[in-house]
Every structure is written in C-alpha cells, then in structure tokens.
C-alpha cells in the first residue's frame, strides 16, 4: 500500500485541553467544608490543566498581613468575611485559574453570584467523620475553637450543605487517592463543559450525576 493510501491518524485533543478551551476566561472554583481537600485537589487539578492555582485563605492572610486566626481574634468573623469577599472578587478578575475557597465563602450571596458569573464551581462534599479526622489535629480553624468541635461541624454542615448544593458540580471527597478525586473532577468538568465524556466512558464513582 502506498503512503498516499494510508489513512491519516485521527487526533483527539486531550481531556485537559478540551476543558481549558471550553472554560475560556472562566475559572474553576472549589467550594465545601474545611477538610474537604479543596487546596490539595485544587493544586493537582491546576497542574493537570496548566492553570495557576490560588488558595483564597492564603491570599487573605497576605493581604491582611495576619493569619486567619489572628484576623478572627482581632477583628471578628464579619470583618474576615468582608475581606474574604473582596479578595475572591479580585482573584476572579485575574483570569482563568483554579481557586480553593474557605468553607464559609460560598455562603455569601455576593460571592456565589460572582462565582456563577465568572467560574465553574465544584462542591467537594465530605461527611462529618471525614472532616473530623482531617481537621481535629489542626489548631488554625477558628470556627472549631469550641467545647464540642464535632457538634460545630455538624451544625455547619446542616447550615451550609443546602447552599453548597447550588454549585455546578458535586464530587464526593473521601479516603481514596487524591489523583482519583482529581480524575473525577476533570471527568465531571469535561461532561459539563463539553457535553460528553471522552470515549463514552462511564461516570466516575464520586460524580453526582444529578449535578
């Protein structure tokens, strides 16, 4: 067979390239409770998508020149939430990135609206026992400095989950390898943005198909 008769190979853009092309100027924003893995998963997702990664809490501390516990202690939660909203607005104006937000950020309507307009949101959904295992040794969670941290987590879950459900996508955060959660996030993003999973693959275990 001559070279001219050999069919040219069909090339398929990678899943990651499909996602970044479909995102355009929008960002990806991870929301959910403390301990859900937003920063860890966000960093890995950003690396896969070749996008910058930003942790909102880190940016808040940099802007205030104080740690978050210090901000809470010195100025209170309302002051922190106002600063958080301003910082997230500025970050989302900076172009396509992967952004991990603090657990309470998505509760503010102004911030939810801005995320809806400028990003695709992913709720990393973790149940209370996962959260407690991950955060009980941390001393930098101001909202958990209570006599009964587990009761506080359960209260926050009951208050926040109805709001987190408004995120574009929901992925179960659980004790599996981080890269598996990243794969599930990327598959969900591809389905949401591009209308189909690559090569007809089935939904991953952690994907909420109703999202």
Looking at residue 152, its pLDDT comes to 84
Q: Supply the pLDDT for residue 36.
A: 92
Segments of the chain with pLDDT less than 50: 1-12, 198-200, 202, 204, 206-211
Helix/strand number for the chain, H first, E second: 9, 5
Instruction: State the pLDDT at residue 143.
Output: 52
pLDDT of 133: 82
Q: What is the pLDDT of residue 161?
A: 96
* pLDDT tens digits for range 113-137: 999 999 999 999 999 888 888 776 5
Tokens of 4: 């001219």
pLDDT of amino acid 140: 56
Note the pLDDT of residue 158. Answer: 95
Burial class from Cβ neighbours inside 10 Å (0-12, 13-18, 19+) for residue 96 reads middle
What is the model's pLDDT at position 3? 41
- Compute the distance between CA of residue 12 and CA of residue 14 in angstroms, rounded to an integer: 6
Confidence (pLDDT) at 146: 63
> Could you read off the pLDDT of 56-73 as tens digits, one per residue?
999 999 998 999 889 988
The pLDDT score that the predictor gives to residue 46 is: 97
State how far the Cα of 172 lies from the Cα of 142, in Å rounded to an integer.
25
């Amino acid at each position: 067979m001559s070279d001219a008769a050999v069919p040219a190979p069909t090339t398929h853009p990678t899943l990651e390239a499909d996602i970044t092309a479909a995102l355009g100027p929008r960002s990806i924003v991870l929301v959910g409770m403390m301990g859900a893995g937003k920063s860890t998963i966000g960093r890995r997702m950003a690396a896969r998508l070749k996008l910058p990664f930003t942790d909102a809490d880190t940016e808040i501390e940099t802007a205030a020149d104080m740690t978050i516990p210090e901000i809470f202690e010195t100025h209170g939660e309302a002051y922190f939430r106002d600063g958080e909203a301003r910082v997230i607005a500025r970050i989302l104006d900076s172009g396509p990135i992967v952004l991990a937000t603090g657990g309470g950020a998505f509760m503010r309507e102004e911030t939810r609206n801005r995320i809806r307009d400028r990003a695709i949101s992913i709720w990393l959904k973790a149940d209370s026992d996962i959260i407690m295992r991950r955060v009980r040794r941390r001393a930098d969670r101001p909202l958990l400095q209570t006599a009964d941290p587990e009761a506080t987590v359960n209260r926050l879950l009951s208050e926040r989950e109805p709001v987190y459900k408004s995120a574009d996508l929901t992925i179960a955060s659980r004790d599996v390898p981080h890269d598996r959660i990243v794969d599930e996030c990327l598959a969900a993003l591809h389905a949401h943005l591009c209308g189909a999973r690559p090569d007809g693959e089935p939904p991953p275990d952690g994907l909420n198909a109703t999202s």
